[in-house]
Structure 1
Amino acid sequence: MGSKARAWEWFHTLEEKRKLQGVFIMHRKAAVAGWIGGILLAVVGGWGMPSSWGQRPGKLGGAEETLGRLRLADKSLKVQLWAAEPLLANPVAFCFDEQGRAFIAETTRFGRGVPDTRSHMYWLEEDLANRTIDDLLAMYKKHKYQGFEKYSDQLRLVWDEQGTGRATKSTIFSGGYNRPQDGLAAGVLAYRGRVYFACIPDLYLLQDTNRDGVADVKETLFSGFGPTAQFLGHDLHGLRLGPDGRLYFSIGDRGFQVLTREGQRLLYPNMGAVLRCELDGSRLEVVHWGLRNPQELAFDDLGYLFTFDNNSDSGDRARWVYVMEGGDSGWRGGYQYGTLYHTPDTPQGNRGPWNVEKLWHTYHADQPAWIIPPVSHLGNGPAGIVHYPGVGLADRYRDSFFACDFTADPNSSVIWNVRFRPKGAGFEMVQAEPFLRGIVATDCDFGPDGAFYWSDWVGGWNPPGKGRLFRVTDPQAQSQPVVAEVQRLLREGFPQRSAAELCQLLGHPHQQVRLYAQLELAERQAHQSLREIAADRSASRLARLHALWGLG
Structure 2
Amino acid sequence: MFNQFSFKARLGIPMLFLGGTVLFSAYQHTPTSRFINHYVDSVLTEAQKRLPENSLAGVKMAEGLSVKTFATEPMLMNPTDIDVDARGRVWVLEAYNYRPAITLNPTHKEGDRIMILEDKDGDGKADESKVFYQDASLNAPLGIAVLGNVVLVSQSPYVWKLTDTDGDDKADKKEVLFQGIGGEQHDHGMHTFVFGPDGKLYFNFGNEGRQLKDAAGNIVKDQFGKEISPKNYQEGMVFRCNLDGSEVECLGQNFRNNYEVAVDSYGTMWQSDNDDDGNKGVRINYVMEYGDYGYKDAVTRASWPSNRTNIEEETPRKHWHLNDPGTVPNLLQTGSGSPTGMIIYEGNLLPKAFQGQMIHCEPGHNVVRSYPVQKSGAGYSAEIVNIMKQEKDQWFRPADVCVAPDGSLIVADWYDPGVGGHQAGDQNRGRIYRIAPENTPYKTPSLNLSTPLGATLALQSPNIATRYLAWKALEKFGKSAETDLVKLWNSDNQRMKARAFWALCKIVDGKKYVELALNDANADIKIAGLRAARQLKLNVLGYVNELKNSSDPQIRRECAIALHGNTAAEAANIWADLAMQHDGKDRWYLEALGIGASDNWDACFSAYLKKVNDPTQTLASRDIVWRARTDESVKFLASLATDSHTSLKERLRYFRAFDFLKGKVKSEALMSLLKGNSAEQNEINKLALNHLDVDFVKTSPVAKAALQKLLASLNGKEYLELQGKYLLPEENPRLLSMIKNGEMVRQSAEALIKSNEGLALVKQITSNPKEDAVTVKLLEGIKSNGGQNSLDILKGIMLDKTRSEQVRREATRDLGDSDGGQNLILALLKEGKIQKEYIPVAVEGVSRAWRRNVRIEAAKYLGNSNNKTSKLPPVSELIAMTGDAKKGVAVFAANCSVCHQVNGEGMDFGPKLSEIGSKLGKDGQYLAIMYPDAGIGFGYEGWEIKMKDGSVLNGIIASKTETDISLKMPGGIVQNLKTSAVKSMKMMNNSMMPTGLMDGMTKEEAVDLVEYLSSLKRK
Give the Å deviation of 1:417: 1.6
Is 1:66 aligned to residue 48 of structure 2? no
Deviates more, 1:351-360 or 1:414-423: 351-360
User: Of the candidates 195, 200, 213, which is equivalent to residue 156 of structure 2?
Assistant: 200
Letter in 1 for 2:61: L
Q: 1:324 to 1:527 in 2, by over 3 A?
A: closer
Paired residues of 1:194 and 1:206 also in contact (CA < 8 A): yes
Is 1:266 aligned to residue 220 of structure 2? no
Q: 1:441 to 1:228 in 2, by over 3 A?
A: closer
Q: 1:499 to 1:528 in 2, by over 3 A?
A: farther
With structure 1 as the length reference, what TM-score do the two structures score? 0.69
**In structure 1, distance between residues paired with 2:443 and 2:272:** 32
Counterpart for residue 371 of structure 2: 418
Counterpart for residue 696 of structure 2: none
Give the Å deviation of 1:493: 3.7
Q: 1:388 to 1:327 in 2, by over 3 A?
A: same
**In structure 1, distance between residues paired with 2:408 and 2:271:** 22
Counterpart for residue 152 of structure 1: 111
Letter in 2 for 1:222: F
Q: 1:280 to 1:172 in 2, by over 3 A?
A: same
Counterpart for residue 173 of structure 2: 217
Is 1:436 aligned to residue 419 of structure 2? no
Is 1:176 aligned to residue 135 of structure 2? yes
**In structure 1, distance between residues paired with 2:309 and 2:109:** 40
**In structure 1, distance between residues paired with 2:349 and 2:339:** 25
User: Of the candidates 397, 404, 417, which is equivalent to residue 460 of structure 1?
Assistant: 417
Give the Å deviation of 1:109: 2.5
**In structure 2, distance between residues paired with 1:211 and 1:483:** 18
**In structure 1, distance between residues paired with 2:343 and 2:220:** 33
Give the Å deviation of 1:372: 1.7
Give the Å deviation of 1:506: 4.0
Is 1:370 aligned to residue 326 of structure 2? yes
Q: Any gaps of 5 or more consecutive residues in structure 2?
A: 1-44, 222-226, 391-395, 419-423, 448-453, 537-1019
Give the Å deviation of 1:513: 6.4
Q: 1:537 to 1:434 in 2, by over 3 A?
A: closer
Give the Å deviation of 1:279: 0.7
Counterpart for residue 3 of structure 1: none
Give the Å deviation of 1:58: 4.7
**In structure 2, distance between residues paired with 1:391 and 1:194:** 28
Letter in 1 for 2:95: T
Deviates more, 1:413-422 or 1:269-278: 269-278
Deviations 1:228-275 (A, max 9, x none): 88xx52121132222332211111111323235796342138721112
Give the Å deviation of 1:293: 0.8
Counterpart for residue 70 of structure 2: 82
Q: 1:250 to 1:524 in 2, by over 3 A?
A: closer
Larger Rg, first or second structure (1 or 2):
2
**In structure 2, distance between residues paired with 1:262 and 1:214:** 31
Counterpart for residue 474 of structure 1: 437
Letter in 1 for 2:258: P
Counterpart for residue 488 of structure 2: 505
**In structure 2, distance between residues paired with 1:355 and 1:302:** 39
Give the Å deviation of 1:97: 1.8
Q: Any gaps of 5 or more consecutive residues in structure 1?
A: 1-56, 120-145, 340-349
- Secondary structure at the counterpart of residue 68 of structure 2: strand
Paired residues of 2:281 and 2:319 also in contact (CA < 8 A): no
**In structure 1, distance between residues paired with 2:293 and 2:518:** 36
Deviates more, 1:156-165 or 1:92-101: 156-165
Deviations 1:60-102 (A, max 9, x none): 623321223211021x222222222233211111111222222
Counterpart for residue 36 of structure 1: none
- Secondary structure at the counterpart of residue 347 of structure 2: coil
**In structure 1, distance between residues paired with 2:385 and 2:341:** 16
Paired residues of 1:362 and 1:373 also in contact (CA < 8 A): no
Deviates more, 1:446-455 or 1:468-477: 468-477
- Secondary structure at the counterpart of residue 470 of structure 1: strand
Counterpart for residue 275 of structure 1: 239
Paired residues of 1:514 and 1:546 also in contact (CA < 8 A): no
Deviations 1:26-77 (A, max 9, x none): xxxxxxxxxxxxxxxxxxxxxxxxxxxxxxx953623321223211021x22
Give the Å deviation of 1:323: 1.5
**In structure 1, distance between residues paired with 2:184 and 2:75:** 33
- Secondary structure at the counterpart of residue 434 of structure 2: strand
Greater helix content: 2
Counterpart for residue 393 of structure 1: 350
- Secondary structure at the counterpart of residue 485 of structure 2: helix
Is 1:239 aligned to residue 193 of structure 2? yes
Counterpart for residue 106 of structure 1: 94
Counterpart for residue 787 of structure 2: none
Counterpart for residue 294 of structure 2: 330
Paired residues of 2:97 and 2:139 also in contact (CA < 8 A): yes
**In structure 2, distance between residues paired with 1:375 and 1:85:** 37
**In structure 2, distance between residues paired with 1:450 and 1:520:** 22
Letter in 2 for 1:435: I
Paired residues of 1:253 and 1:332 also in contact (CA < 8 A): no
Identity of aligned residues (%): 23
- Secondary structure at the counterpart of residue 504 of structure 1: helix
User: Of the candidates 226, 241, 249, which is equivalent to residue 285 of structure 1?
Assistant: 249
Is 1:166 aligned to residue 125 of structure 2? yes
Paired residues of 1:361 and 1:374 also in contact (CA < 8 A): no
Paired residues of 2:518 and 2:527 also in contact (CA < 8 A): no
Paired residues of 2:150 and 2:163 also in contact (CA < 8 A): yes
**Once superposed, what is the RMSD of the aligned Cα atoms?**
4.2
- Bigger RCO of structures 1 and 2 (CA < 8 A, at least 6 apart): 1
Letter in 1 for 2:488: L
Letter in 1 for 2:155: C
Q: 1:447 to 1:423 in 2, by over 3 A?
A: same
Paired residues of 2:153 and 2:160 also in contact (CA < 8 A): yes
Paired residues of 1:450 and 1:483 also in contact (CA < 8 A): no
**In structure 1, distance between residues paired with 2:528 and 2:494:** 10
Letter in 2 for 1:192: G
**In structure 2, distance between residues paired with 1:292 and 1:364:** 9
- Secondary structure at the counterpart of residue 212 of structure 2: strand
Paired residues of 1:444 and 1:453 also in contact (CA < 8 A): yes
Letter in 1 for 2:293: S
Paired residues of 1:503 and 1:530 also in contact (CA < 8 A): no
Q: 1:332 to 1:173 in 2, by over 3 A?
A: farther
Paired residues of 2:367 and 2:398 also in contact (CA < 8 A): yes
- Secondary structure at the counterpart of residue 256 of structure 1: coil
Q: How many residues align?
A: 443
- Secondary structure at the counterpart of residue 96 of structure 2: coil
User: Of the candidates 226, 236, 239, which is equivalent to residue 182 of structure 2?
Assistant: 226
Give the Å deviation of 1:521: 3.9
Q: 1:506 to 1:262 in 2, by over 3 A?
A: farther
- Secondary structure at the counterpart of residue 205 of structure 1: strand
- Secondary structure at the counterpart of residue 68 of structure 1: coil
Deviates more, 1:289-298 or 1:258-267: 258-267
Q: 1:522 to 1:147 in 2, by over 3 A?
A: farther
- Secondary structure at the counterpart of residue 185 of structure 1: coil
- Secondary structure at the counterpart of residue 505 of structure 1: helix
Greater strand content: 1
Deviations 1:121-164 (A, max 9, x none): xxxxxxxxxxxxxxxxxxxxxxxxx9998473332222224444
Letter in 2 for 1:451: S
Give the Å deviation of 1:454: 0.8
Q: 1:535 to 1:263 in 2, by over 3 A?
A: closer
Give the Å deviation of 1:183: 4.5
**In structure 2, distance between residues paired with 1:228 and 1:479:** 37
Letter in 2 for 1:209: T
Paired residues of 2:122 and 2:442 also in contact (CA < 8 A): no
**In structure 2, distance between residues paired with 1:529 and 1:254:** 43
Give the Å deviation of 1:369: 0.6
